[in-house]
Structure 1
Amino acid sequence: MPTTRRTTLKALGTTGVGAAVAGCQAGSSVDQATERERQESETQPTKPTAERVAADPTDVPEPIDRDEPKHHEITLTVEEVRAEVEQGVVYDYMTFDGQIPGPMIRVRQGDTISFTLENAPESVMPHNVDMHAIYGTGGGAEATHVTPGESAAERFTATYPGAFIYHCAVPNMDYHISSGMFGMILVEPKEGLPEVDREFYFGQHELYTDKPAGEKGHHKLDMEAMKAEDPTYVLLNGEQYAITPKKYGAVQAERDETVRVYMVCGGPNLNSNFHPIGNVWTEAYRDGGLASSPEEYLQTVNVPPGSCMVGTMDLPVPETIKLVDHALTRVARKGMMGVVAVDGEPNEEVFDPDPNA
C-alpha cells in the first residue's frame, strides 16, 4: 500500500492507542505528545470562541416507532473550541458538533449506519471515534482517524441493543475525553422502549486544570493532576452547574409524568454515583444494558467511565430534583449537578411539606 500522510498518521495513532491501553513502554511518548497538543492549543485566541458547550438535555432524537431496519447517514464534526467552564474561567474544549456530551445518536437493533467523522480545518489535533456499539477494530477508531481538515467514513450494523458511549480514542485519549470528546449512541431493542412523557440526555466528565476551581483566567491541562486522577472540576454537560436555574435553566416536567434519563459517563477516570435527590430510579438499566429487564427502585446507580445508564423516574409530586454524583464533594466543590423542575398541584397523600398548616 502506498505510504501517505493519512496512512502514516493512522498507523501512528493505532500503535499509540494499543501501547497506551496496554500500559507498555510508550507512556512517556504519549505524555510528550499530550504536552505538544496542549501547547499547540495555545495558538488559539485567548478569548472564548464559543458561548456554550453544554448540550441541551432536551435535544433527544424521537423514539423509534417502526418494525423494519433502516439505513442512516450520520456525520459528526470535531470542533475544538474555547469556552467558559464557569464565569471568568476559560478552557480549550474538544467536542463533537460543539457540544458536551456529543449529539445523541438513536438507531434500532438491525439498522445500518454510514458514519462520517469530519475534523474541522481550524482544529490543531487529530481525532477519531470509538463507538462501543460497533464490532470492529477499536470500535471504528482506526477507520475514522482524521487530521485537521480531513474526513473519514465507515459503515456498520447495529447488531446488539443498548446505550453505548462513543469517544475519541487517539493515543492521548484521556486528554481528549476529559476535554469533552464523548457522547451516546442508543441502539433500541427491536421491540422498542416503553413509552414515557419526556426524555433527557446528560453526560458527566472531569477537567484537570493548572489553576484552582474558580480562579479567573485561561485554565490549561494539568497532566500530573490527570495522572493522579485529581480533577479540578467534575461536570454535568461540560460546564459548572450548567443545567440549573443559575446557568441555562433547569429542565421542566409536570406532576404525574414519567421521564427517562439517558446518562453517559465520559470520565476519563471517575465513576459516577448517579442519584436523583428527592426521587428514585423507578427502573434502571445498568451499563445501558437494554437487553435485560430493568432493576426497580434504585436510589443510586454506579456508572463507570466509558459506560451509560438509562433510568426512569415517576413524578407523583411537584418538586425540584437535583441530579448529582453522590460523591458529594463533586457537587459542593467541583460543579457536578443538574436540576429537573417538576410543576403541578401538591399531592399531600404522597408528601406534605407542612402537615401543621
Structure 2
Amino acid sequence: VSTLPDGRTLRSFEVTAEDKEIEIAPGILFPAWTYNGRVPGPTLRATEGDRLKIVFRNNGSHPHSMHFHGIHAARMDGVPGAGLIGPGEEFVYEFDARPFGCHLYHCHALPLKRHIQKGMYGAFIIDPDPARHPEHEAVARSRLLGTPENAGWQEFVMVMNAFDTNFDNENEVYAVNTVAHAYAKKPIRVLKDKPVRIYLVNVVEFDPINSFHLHANFFDYYNQGTTLTPTLRTVDLITQCQAERGILEFHFREHEPGLYMFHPHQSEFTELGWSGMFDVVEALS
C-alpha cells in the first residue's frame, strides 16, 4: 500500500499463474491451474476509489489472464488482446476500485469453462467509502476493513466451486473453498452475540444454478453487494447463477449454542462435498 501524488491510496498486488496439483478431498488430487498456487486464488480487497495495480505473471503451461468483475478500461479487460498473456509473460492491470461490492476475478482464456473449472478464480471485494455514502454511513463503515465497526463482525469469504475429476464436463466433487466437507468435519466457530457476514461467490461450472441454505436461521441478502440496503430480507435460501455473488448477514443472538448446518439445497451437491457447520459458542476458547 502506498500513496499517490493526488493523495489517493495505491494498492499493489502480485499474482502468479502456475500449474499445481491440489487435494480436493482426502486422497483425491486434482491437476489445477492456480493463482498464487491456491484454489480459489487470494481474495483481493480494496476500498472504493483506491487505485489498483495488479502485476500478473504467467508461470503456467497455458495462456492466462485476470478478468475483473468491476469497472475498467477495455485494455484492462483480461481478454485476448487486452491482458491475456502466454507462458513466461507479464502484464500489469491498473484501474480504480469501483463499484463497491462483492465481486470476483477469473481467467478469460479459451476454452473459458475449462480455465475457470481448473481453478482460475478468486473473490474481489471492494469496501464502500463511508464518506461517499452519508445516508448509509454506519452500514458502510461496518463493511470497511480496519474500522472499529467492521471489527464487530465475523466475516468469511465462501467461494462455491466444484471439480470435474474425469474431464467429462460433469462435476464429481462440490465444495466451498475447494475441500469437500471441510467445514462439516471442522465446523466454523462463531460467537453467538457477534453478527456474521459472508461474501458468497458462485463459480461452479457445468451446473447452471447453485444455492446457499442456512439451517434454523434467516439472513439478509445483498445481491452483488453493490447496495447498502438488502435486496432480500429474512430469507433462509438464495440461488446464484454462474459468477453471481452477494453478501449475507445474520446472527445467532437468540439461538442456543450448538452446530448449525449450511449447504446448497441441491441434494447432490451436498452429498458430494458442499456442506458445512457453524459451531455457535458463547465465547471463543
Contact 1:278 1:320 in 2 (8 A): no
Residue 105 of structure 2 corresponds to 166
Cα offset, 1:291, TM superposition: 5.1
RMSD between superposed Cα atoms in Å:
2.0
Is the aligned partner of 1:178 residue 2:117? Answer: yes
Cα offset, 1:136, TM superposition: 3.0
User: What's the secondary structure of 1:231's corresponding residue?
Assistant: coil
User: What's the secondary structure of 2:116's corresponding residue?
Assistant: helix
User: What's the secondary structure of 1:73's corresponding residue?
Assistant: strand
Residue 207 of structure 1 corresponds to 163
The CA deviation string for residues 74-121 of structure 1, in whole angstroms up to 9 with x for no partner, is: 12121221122222222101221222222111111111111111222x
Contact 1:111 1:158 in 2 (8 A): yes
Contact 2:213 2:236 in 1 (8 A): yes
Contact 2:99 2:126 in 1 (8 A): yes
* Structure 1: runs of 5 or more not aligned: 1-67, 211-220, 346-357
Is the aligned partner of 1:273 residue 2:211? Answer: yes
**Pairing 1:109-128 to 2, within 5 Å after superposition:** 109-120=48-59, 123-128=60-65
Q: Distance in 2 between matches of 1:135 and 1:292?
A: 25
Cα offset, 1:309, TM superposition: 1.3
Structure showing greater radius of gyration is: 1
Cα offset, 1:295, TM superposition: 2.6
Cα offset, 1:294, TM superposition: 4.5
Residue 183 of structure 2 corresponds to 243
* Structure 2: runs of 5 or more not aligned: 1-6, 131-139, 143-149
**Pairing 1:292-303 to 2, within 5 Å after superposition:** 292-303=229-240
Q: Distance in 2 between matches of 1:75 and 1:273?
A: 32
Q: Percent identity?
A: 21
Structure 1 counterpart of 2:274, one-letter code: M
Work out the number of aligned pairs and report it.
255
Q: Distance in 1 between matches of 2:229 and 2:251?
A: 21
Contact 1:100 1:203 in 2 (8 A): no
Residue 44 of structure 2 corresponds to 105
Structure 2 counterpart of 1:233, one-letter code: V
Residue 147 of structure 1 corresponds to 86
The structure 2 residue matched to 1:234, chosen from 174, 193, 216, is 174
Residue 247 of structure 2 corresponds to 310
Structure 1 counterpart of 2:159, one-letter code: G
Cα offset, 1:306, TM superposition: 0.9
Contact 1:94 1:181 in 2 (8 A): yes
Cα offset, 1:300, TM superposition: 0.6
Cα offset, 1:310, TM superposition: 0.7
User: What's the secondary structure of 1:165's corresponding residue?
Assistant: strand
Is the aligned partner of 1:260 residue 2:197? Answer: yes
Q: Distance in 2 between matches of 1:295 and 1:100?
A: 30
User: What's the secondary structure of 1:315's corresponding residue?
Assistant: coil
Contact 2:18 2:61 in 1 (8 A): no
Give TM-score, length-normalised by structure 1.
0.67
Residue 304 to residue 144, structure 1, CA distance change in 2 (3 Å): same
Residue 109 to residue 269, structure 1, CA distance change in 2 (3 Å): farther
Contact 2:76 2:94 in 1 (8 A): no
User: What's the secondary structure of 2:224's corresponding residue?
Assistant: helix
Q: Give the number of the structure whose residues are more often strand, by fraction.
A: 2
